[in-house]
């Protein structure tokens, strides 16, 4: 029986709230409005993943699938320098272990996960798969039955790879608000939500904190549901050096 691992956020408050980070089991969804900080969190996790287990990592690289924007390689490079300074005893070529795929529609996404990822995972050490985002490719469907079928196909591919390589799988989702009073709800409906195991939401808090002489917006990560973690939330900041609490 394989032992499930946890990938640390590299941020104490977020680790505490999630009881150690992202679990290498099932699909973890991270949802939030544009600009809430999803991509920044994913970049940090992509670097954390490469650290040895005793530092909270998974000792392996990441397959990072972009569907919305071009991959922010400049920012990853910047953050990797912080990691090199923060963990001087660890000699990792961080950028070489982030395998980026740029995808434009659901057909390409399914093909990537079914045909491209398996040989990549077999030849490289990868224990984190990220899709940023699933919403971008699935929101455009008008046939919801076909959409449900395709989302299930995607989830099956990801779950198979996750099980086989004891790997964490993170899918980013967008949110919509039905009315101004109601809080944002994740896109893609029930057909998508029941495919995920854990759902996290990030949002901005109407509060700012001074950090390094700069006023930074406070952000919040909430557990919407998770089989092993109670409902909880934690606040964090996005700084030049990454996510901190
Ligand atoms: P979408 O991708 O548009 O859905 O948004 P997102 O939720 O992925 O937000 P993202 O993580 O891209 O950025 C959120 C915030 O991170 C921005 O509003 C900035 O405050 C901060 N941020 C983004 N890039 C940088 C950077 O290079 N340096 C610093 N210090 N902060 C950044």
Over the stretch 59-110, which tens digit does the pLDDT of each residue have? 999 999 999 899 999 999 999 999 999 999 999 999 999 999 999 999 999 9
Residue 52 pLDDT: 97
Q: Which of 36, 40, 75 to probe ligand 1 with, by most ligand atoms within 8 A of CB?
A: 40
DSSP alpha helices (H): ranges in the chain? 12-17, 38-48, 73-86, 106-111, 117-123, 134-138, 144-165, 189-193
- The pair of structure tokens assigned to 116 is 């491209």
42-to-140, 158, 168 alpha-carbon distances in Å: 24, 17, 12
The residue-averaged pLDDT of 124-131 equals 97
Over residues 51-56, mean pLDDT = 97
pLDDT: is 224 or 179 the higher one?
224
| Token pair for 179 | 């009315």
**How remote is the CA of residue 238 from the centroid of ligand 1, in Å?**
8
CA of 75 to the centre of ligand 1 (A): 10
Minimal-distance CA residue to ligand 1 atom 14: 37
* Residue 115: predicted pLDDT: 96
CA distance 169 to 63: 10
Report residue 1's pLDDT band, with 50, 70 and 90 as the boundaries.
Answer: low
CB atoms within 10 A of CB 74: 8
Q: Determine the pLDDT at residue 93.
A: 96
Pocket of ligand 1 (CB under 6 A): 32, 34-40, 75, 238-240
Question: How many angstroms separate the alpha carbon of residue 49 from the centre of ligand 1?
Answer: 20
Cβ–Cβ under 8 Å, residues 169 and 113: no
Residue 167 confidence (pLDDT): 97
| C-alpha 78 – ligand 1 centre gap (Å) | 13
The Å distance, Cα 240 to ligand 1 centre, comes to: 10
Q: What would the mean pLDDT of 11-18 be, rounded to a whole number?
A: 97
* Mean pLDDT across 136-158: 96
Quick one: pLDDT at residue 163? 96
Position in ligand 1 atom list of the atom nearest CA 216: 20
Assembly ipTM: 0.95
**CA–CA gap between residue 194 and residue 185 (Å, rounded):** 14
Q: How far is CA 17 from the centre of its chain?
A: 16
pTM: 0.95
Measured CA to CA, the distance from residue 181 to residue 138 in angstroms comes to: 26
């Amino acid at each position: 029986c394989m032992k499930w691992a946890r990938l640390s956020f590299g941020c104490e408050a977020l680790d505490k709230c999630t009881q150690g980070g992202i679990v290498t089991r099932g699909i973890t969804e991270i949802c939030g409005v544009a600009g809430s900080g999803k991509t920044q969190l994913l970049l940090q996790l992509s670097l954390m993943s490469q650290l040895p287990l005793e530092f909270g990592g998974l000792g392996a690289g990441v397959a990072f699938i972009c569907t919305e924007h071009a991959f922010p390689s400049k920012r990853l490079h910047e953050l990797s320098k912080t990691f090199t300074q923060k963990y001087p005893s660890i000699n990792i070529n961080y950028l070489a272990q982030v395998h980026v795929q740029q995808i434009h529609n659901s057909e390409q996404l399914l093909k990537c996960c079914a045909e491209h990822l398996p040989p990549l995972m077999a030849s490289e050490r990868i224990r984190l798969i990220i899709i940023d985002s699933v919403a971008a490719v699935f929101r455009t469907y008008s046939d919801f039955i076909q959409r449900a079928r395709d989302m299930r196909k995607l989830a099956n591919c990801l779950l198979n790879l996750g099980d086989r390589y004891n790997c964490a799988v993170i899918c980013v989702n967008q949110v919509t608000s039905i009315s101004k009073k109601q809080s944002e709800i994740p896109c893609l409906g029930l057909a998508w939500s029941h495919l995920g195991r854990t759902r996290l939401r990030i949002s901005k808090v109407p509060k700012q904190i001074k950090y390094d002489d700069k006023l930074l917006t406070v952000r919040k990560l909430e557990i919407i549901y998770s089989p092993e973690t109670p409902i909880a939330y934690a606040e964090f900041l996005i700084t030049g050096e990454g996510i901190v609490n």
